[in-house]
Structure 1
Amino acid sequence: MNLTYLTNFFFVPYGLLVLALPFIFIYGSANRRLRPLLIGFWITFIIGLGGTTPLPRWILGRAFEILTFERFTLSAAFMALPIVGLLAARLIDRHQSKAVAGLAFAAVLTFVLPMVWISISPFSANAGLNVDAVDGFLNRDGHDRYRYLTLGFGNSLPKVSTYTSANSVDGEYNSARLLPEFTHYGTAQLTSAKYFGTAGMEALRMMLRHAAHYGLKYIFVHDPYYEPLVSFAGWQKVETYDSGSITVWSREDIPPARPIPSDAMPTAIEGLLWGTLPLASSILAILFAFMIPDGARVRKNQLYEFPVHDEEGALIQEAR
């Protein structure tokens, strides 16, 4: 399983860039102009390794429990690209067409690797899962008065929430999940709890234990691994969909969901700004580009009169 994690969180994000790591450190440290870039790469590279080293936890503190670290991996890759570009230039100068072919092959392989990994990875995305029956169940008979949870749905989780008015205690965006069951154990999506080891399963157990507090009545299971835990926590199977691949579990003693007060909820004006300001800023920038004249373009189009030489005055001066 460690090899799986190594592939998922290191080889797949970096691709064949890992082969250039020795050059990045050697050349980046030898060139004074590249040292700031190397330092930035080193910091983001270490933080991107997550809990592999104690440094991210020391730097991030409590945020370590809720942040996802692929953003740091992406930043590290960006900072490494200028140094890798120098390596590519050296190779092309020395080996010419062979280097171009090799670099092109490495780039293509780097892009193909994630696509292949998605199809063989145990972290299956389940993007093709048909969730219409799940949405239909939540949208009928007042079921949307309760919260729900999906287990084993992978990346199909947002497909469910998009087409139903019912609320879930789970979600895709890690930093927005501020319930104690998430922040205490530092897990990500509950729908993939088993892939987060002990922390993931403990967070799921705590959520099931506090189900009445959150109005969590319905659980949709697409992975039999979770069924014993759900059954032991008091839920009963009520329906099955898609030839038994999705099962619906319910508890009768769960009250309807009530709003959960949180100081992290945005105000109405913040929601309005979030929905309008980014797009408005882009439109405003485009308008400024057309309305405000470019000084360089204006100077280029401006005609200057060539000074006329006064030949007659020069001749008179010479005659004197």
Structure 2
Amino acid sequence: MNTNTSIPTIPKTATSSWRDSRAVQVCGVLFLLAIALLLPKFANNYVIEVASNILIYMVLCLGLNIVVGYAGLLDLGYAAFFAVGAYTTGILTSEFGMNFWLTIPIAMTFACLAGIIIGSPTLRLRSDYLAIVTLGFGEIVRIIARNLDITGGASGLVGINRPSLFGFQLIQVQHFYYLFLALVVLTVFVCLSIERSRIGRAWRYVRFDEDAAAGIGINRVAVKLYAYMTGAIIASVAGCFYATKMTAISPESFTFSQSLLILLGVVLGGMGKIPGVLLGAAVVTLIPEIFRDAGTWRPLITAVALLAIMLFRPHGIWPEKRG
């Protein structure tokens, strides 16, 4: 008996087109990375300073993207975790003389604990209620930093030590630019790894339909808590590097407007899409600098420019594909 069975195969054209698009993406990433590496060779200190600010905002937006873009949680107090990292490094280096690199895991631990303390009782809430709680948490952290002696009170901390790497002292703006660039690359790698993992898929299920996620056995509270903790850890690391670059921090660096600006970068770029989030962070940092000479009109012009982008791209500059 002669049987002829055929096994379905993927068309060669589809495979080749996928490989071509993948190659284009890799080449594009390498090209942008090469430009970033060569920028300090041709730019002045002002441009490098602005680029450094863009990089630190990229890290913060990537962290908040895990909370907002992946898990669908509205966090209006994200700058609080940024402050936890900055003040942990500032206090340990300036008051206790601890090595900068040793303060990073301590700051991550404190931010994680803060995420657990705040997240455990509140992540059962949804929508507006969660936003109000996170907003209150951000203001509580800022007020505590403003009233404690160890945090320097309203004047903040000064004299934070600059770090050294393999015996090389990091003091110039170019040094911190490359340090922040390495931090962005590391954060992108971490986000991509998490996005493709089991917990990353669980976050997306919870984001689009919590009830359906619970129906297939996902512990939605635990999953949201993992997202909250992960975002908190990333923000604390950014705070550590920010503090050692500035050598001085104050409570006014971690206000609600800071949290709002980070959230705007995520939404403006495209929630859940890493390239979009990176682009959004660059936009919200660059637009105020572009209109720096506008004087008192600067906030209004900046707001109108951001609003125009949102009107023309309501799902973000680089939105997530939905199939």
Higher share in helix: 2
TM class, shorter-chain normalised? under 0.3
Relative contact order: is structure 1 or structure 2 higher (C-alpha 8 Å, sep ≥ 6)?
A: 2
Report the TM-score when normalising by structure 2: 0.23
Report the TM-score when normalising by structure 1: 0.23
Larger Rg: 1
